[in-house]
Amino acid sequence: MVTSSARNKRAPRKTAPARANPNGQAAAWKIRPSGGLQILEAPALAQLDWLVHGFSTRRGGASALESLRDGRKAAEQVLNLGFTDWDTRDRVLGNREKFFAAFGAGKMRVAGLRQIHSDMVHRADAQATEQVEGPPQGDALVTRDPGVLLVVQTADCIPVLLADTRQRAVAAIHAGWRGTVKRIVEKTLGRMQMEFGTRPEDVVAVLGPGIGRCCYEVGSDVAKEFHAQFAEAREWFEGPFEALAAGENDPNWLPWLTMRPPGHAPPPLRAHLDLIAANRAMLVRTGVPAEKIFSSGYCTACRTDLFFSHRRERSTGRMMAAIGIQ
């Protein structure tokens, strides 16, 4: 088994409603108080009595994060689950222990990764092996062994949890834009098919809190990558996708080639990317039924009262998404 390892002042945003699934039913995710924390649960997984799962929020915990609130610096007690520069290792380990206990996984073996925004998928087994250099590099884990808790860390990227209800296998995926463009959810399902005989039609997929299209502004580098990989990429962008994909107004282009005097060049073009829609489309393409794919509807950048957002806060904590077989 592998083992784990100042907010800018803005006008208040409206709370995002729960996102509807393709079958028109709202995904009524629940925030459950437990052990002084607030754990986000997906009903589609909560009804499976053979597994445990949970998405952490920022509330509770022993870490002190300094942030700007109403133009003033304030220290906030938060549940930081990542080894960041501003926090201590002991506090993070204590936070993790508290988080795992809050949803009934306190006695499970934890499998984590050194996340590198890749398409690398690892299998986690019940039998632990010594990792001299720590957990392996990668961004997805799969298992069918009871007693193993798979975890991924996020602070804007999309956490994806998969459960094969027939073979009783699970997966945890960290899907940022780089992992998404490398098709990490497709490759994780492929690994589950190879290792466990998983059929996509037996899979329940949940996509946890991450940055939404409303807040995820990207440039030509991202648009070009998606345009090169996906024929339907335009559907996941809002804004001048075609111009960005063609390299127009690329900030990396040599300024003298624009033939404009200094200070007269137009601002760089930007578009908004919907990572939820992109990963949902890939899951459907692999054969997961649309009615078995659920997203939380929470944008981490909109809801920094509840989640961490690296894009909005820069210096912030890390959340965890976890899933395991009892």
CA 64 – CA 317 distance, rounded (Å):
10
Cα 248 to Cα 268: distance, rounded to the nearest angstrom: 9
Interatomic CA distance for residues 258 and 80, integer angstroms: 46
Residues of the chain with CATH 3.60.140.10: 30-212+288-325
Contacts of 65 (CB under 8 A, 6+ apart): 75, 76, 78, 80, 86, 87, 315, 316, 317
104: which residues sit within 8 A by CB, 6+ positions away? 52
Give a three-class secondary structure readout of 190-213.
Answer: HHHHHHHCCCHHHEEEEECCECCC
The pLDDT, as a whole number, for residue 236 is 98
Q: How far is CA 171 from CA 3, 143, 182, 236, 317, in A?
A: 15, 7, 17, 24, 23
Which pTM value belongs to this model? 0.88
What element of type H or E holds 164? strand 158-164
Give dist(CA 39, CA 37) in Å, integer: 6
- Residue 207's pLDDT is 98
E strands present in 199-318: 203-207, 217-218, 237-238, 271-273, 293-295
SS3 244: helix
SS3 percent helix, strand, coil of the chain, rounded to 5, is: 25, 30, 45
Going by C-alpha positions, the residue among 276, 83, 248, 252 that lies closest to residue 177 is: 276
Per-block average pLDDT, block size 10, for the chain (326 residues)? 40 39 56 96 97 97 83 85 96 98 96 98 85 86 98 98 98 98 98 98 98 97 97 97 85 53 68 98 98 97 96 95 97
pLDDT of residue 309: 97
Residue 95: helix, strand or coil by DSSP?
helix
Q: What is the SS3 assignment for 163?
A: strand
Neighbouring C-beta atoms of residue 29, cutoff 10 Å: 23
123-112-66 Cα angle (round to 5): 160
DSSP 13: P
Distance (Å) of CA 276 to CA 173, 175, 247, 252, 266: 13, 9, 25, 28, 30
DSSP symbol at 256 = G
Q: Which fold has domain 30-212+288-325?
A: CNF1/YfiH-like putative cysteine hydrolases (3.60.140)
